[in-house]
Amino acid sequence: MYIELSGIEVIKGEDLSNEQRLDVVSLCSLAYDGNFEPILATLKDPTHVLAYVGEELISHALWITRWLEYDHALMLRTAYVEAVATHPAFQNRGLGTRVMRMIQAKIGDFDLGGLSPSDDRWYSRLGWERWQGPLFIRTNESLLSTPSGDLMILRLPRTPMLDLKAPLSAEWREGELW
């Protein structure tokens, strides 16, 4: 059943009102079945997409900038998508798709889109591709190998030719590495 949105807003994290921030934490905590506040605190300089029915936030996603290094040689400015969440009572009605389509429309000036998927088939339907090559996390001292299969990418207008089987690394970060 199609749900009519009363609004969809793209807003920098620093411009979120206290009420909007609390709504994001509440929605993501419900969707992920745990306190989302500490996770949100680790995501630096996010841009949020907020979808409303009436005054209620019912779907959300955000992106942050991460630098992914392709094949040990090319740094790619990546819009890394996080916190994709829809209120359980409104799931499977196209709201998450509309939020993701909004993100995809707004990140065209990045070299690449990236995310760690919860559902490969859902993201594949939206144009995302599974990274097949080895994945690493860069630290000051070394490259740490991480399990393969934790990353999907979205090719954007600025994306160079990429071999999905080549090595790819991201900078270390607090919390979930990918």
Q: 90-110: per-residue pLDDT in tens?
A: 999 999 999 999 999 999 999
Query: For residue 5, what pLDDT is reported?
Result: 83
What is the pLDDT, as a whole number, of residue 148? Answer: 63
The model's pTM = 0.94
- DSSP 8-state secondary structure symbol assigned to residue 110: S
Q: What is residue 7's three-state secondary structure?
A: strand
The fold of 7-171 is: Aminopeptidase (3.40.630)
Mean pLDDT of all residues belonging to the chain = 95
Instruction: Of 153, 34, 51, 140, give the one whose Cα is nearest residue 93.
Output: 51
At CA 109, angle to CA 153 and CA 73, rounded to 5? 60
The pLDDT value recorded for residue 124 is 97
Average pLDDT over residues 105-132: 96
Report how far residue 145's alpha carbon sits from residue 34's, in angstroms, rounded to the nearest whole number: 28
